[in-house]
């Protein structure tokens, strides 16, 4: 092991945000977008984790991704406001 320090929620959040940023940078190379929602699912995930933290943000992101399918009309679906 390189480091025995515990992994904090902030560190996990930074890692998830970094992965999201890399995805959004390379996404145009994959072809036209197919997300039915605005903001896109990746942007929604980024915003929800930033606003609600890693646990609730990940749950909101998973819920959004499950709803992104051909039978859902999509549309404007913003991240809910923080209750803090």
Q: Is the pTM of this model over 0.85?
A: no
Q: What is the pLDDT of residues 2-33, one digit of tens each?
A: 666 676 777 777 887 787 788 778 777 777 66
Q: What is the pLDDT of residues 29-48, one digit of tens each?
A: 777 667 889 998 888 988 99
Pairing status of strand 37-38 against strand 75-76: parallel
Contact between 42 and 23 under an 8 Å Cβ cutoff? The reply is yes
Q: How confident is the model at residue 77 (pLDDT cuts 50, 70, 90)?
A: very high
Domain boundaries along the sequence of the chain: 37-84
- CB-based burial label for 69 (10 Å; 0-12, 13-18, 19+): exposed
State the average pLDDT over residues 54-67.
92
C-alpha angle with apex 35: 29 to 41, nearest 5 degrees? 95
């Amino acid at each position: 092991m390189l480091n025995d320090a515990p992994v904090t929620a902030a560190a996990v959040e930074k890692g998830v945000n970094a992965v999201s940023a890399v995805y959004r940078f390379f996404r145009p190379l994959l072809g036209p977008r197919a997300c039915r929602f605005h903001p896109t699912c990746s942007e929604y995930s980024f915003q929800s984790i930033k606003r609600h933290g890693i646990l609730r943000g990940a749950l909101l992101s998973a819920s959004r991704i499950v709803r992104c399918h051909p039978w859902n009309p999509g549309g404007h679906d913003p991240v809910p406001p923080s209750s803090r």
